[in-house]
Amino acid sequence: MITALAGGVGAAKFLKGLSRVVKTEQLTIIVNTGDDIKISGLHVSPDIDIVIYTLSNVVDRQKGWGLREDTFKFLEGLDRFGIETWFNIGDQDLATHMYRTHLRNKGHTPSEITSKIARAFGIKNIKILPMTDEDVETWIVTDKGEMHFQEYLIKMGMIPHVRGINIKGIEKAQPAPGVIKAIEEATIIIICPSNPIISIGPILKVSKVRETLKRSSAKVVAISPLVGGKPLKGPADRLMRGLGLEVSSTQVAKLYKDFLDEIVIDEKDANEEHAIKSLGIKPLIIDTIMSNEEKAQCIAEQVLNLQNESL
Ligand code: GDP
């Protein structure tokens, strides 16, 4: 059994590669829902949708999110009413959010809804679990005030200076059904190349997740989302710096140190080898840039091979 902890774009690219080399029924993906937002009356769950769209080959590969060849007429329509339209929702994508919202209003849980959406997109065997069924929202504390992560990322273009983060609702968040079991029964646990602060961080804060990872006898392997000491995309560096952390794969390893066995880092960061080893964590140094599915698959194969090494 393979269990992966995942955010959005970086995770989805890796998981697509992984899904090409494992029996899909062996794979469980625990996805961050701290990025979720209620906007224009809709429940949007960006990381869940990115993972589903990518695994089912309908994602807009250029952007990394949304559906390929989607149109944005709905947003143009909203514009007419002077409603804020900074959060990009394509017309086909809108159907997913409407369906999720409809089921939420009928009392279905995020877990139930996620599995229905995954099935509708043709994903039958891979288990995709939200980290929790409770509502959690990641807010960023900045010099321009506190704002939802999506507002910081999209509306404000990551310009405000980060002072801290506030994951609202996380104290009460219980793991969604199947989350703890998936960690307990895994033979390898993979922390995807995702933002360690706002993608993996919230999953680790869900009740019992971190302690179950610590207890696990499975090999725990992370793939660093940093290449050449910085993220390929997104605010990982700004968030890490804002929290007073160094921006490096060594720092990523430190954030996971209490449960991590090995970390895959990019060859551009080979100079970090000794610092990582001194944490008691084994580095695997390879090219980690997933420019296409074949490369993502190649990285996944190398991660899976680590299972056969002794701890
Ligand atoms: P988000 O929620 O959509 O921002 O997605 P994630 O947290 O899963 O992914 C964001 C992280 O993925 C960024 O820090 C990127 O640097 C990282 N990432 C994206 N593509 C790649 C890649 O090809 N290789 C590596 N190593 N990291 C990547």
Domains and CATH numbers, the chain: 2-135+171-309 (3.40.50.10680)
Pocket of ligand 1, beta carbon within 6 A: 7-11, 13, 35, 47, 50, 193-195, 199, 223-225, 227, 231-234, 236, 266, 288-290
Burial of 8 (0-12, 13-18, 19+ CB in 10 A): buried
Identity of residue 112: E
Instruction: In whole angstroms, give the CA distance from residue 213 to residue 204.
Output: 9
Tens of pLDDT along the chain (311 residues)? 999 999 999 999 999 999 999 999 999 999 999 999 999 999 999 999 999 999 999 999 999 999 999 999 999 999 999 988 999 999 999 999 999 999 999 999 999 999 999 999 999 999 999 999 999 999 999 999 999 999 999 999 999 999 999 999 999 999 999 999 999 999 999 999 999 999 999 999 999 999 999 999 999 999 999 999 999 999 999 999 999 999 999 999 999 999 999 999 999 999 999 999 999 999 999 999 999 999 999 999 999 999 877 65
Neighbours of 262 (CB within 10 A): 19
Ligand 1: residue of 227, 272, 285, 298 to mutate (most ligand atoms within 8 A of CB) is 227
Nearest CA to ligand 1 atom 12: 10
Q: Among residues 101, 106, 108, 109, which one has the least CA distance to residue 41?
A: 101
The count of C-alpha atoms lying within 13 angstroms of the C-alpha of 82, restricted to the half-sphere facing its C-beta, is: 0
User: In sequence order, what are the residues at sequence separation of 6 or more whose Cβ sits closer than 8 angstroms to the Cβ of residue 172?
Assistant: 134
Which residue, chain included where needed, has tokens 């089921």? 103
**Reduced to 3 states, what is the DSSP secondary structure of residue 249?**
helix
Three-state DSSP class for residue 2:
strand
What CA–CA distances, in Å, run from 31 to 119, 214, 253, 309? Answer: 16, 19, 20, 27
Mutate to test the pocket of ligand 1, among 232, 288, 291 (most ligand atoms within 8 A of CB): 232
pLDDT for 310: 60
Measure 95 CA to ligand 1 centroid, in angstroms: 26
The pairing of beta strand 37-39 with beta strand 262-266: unpaired
How much is the pTM?
0.98
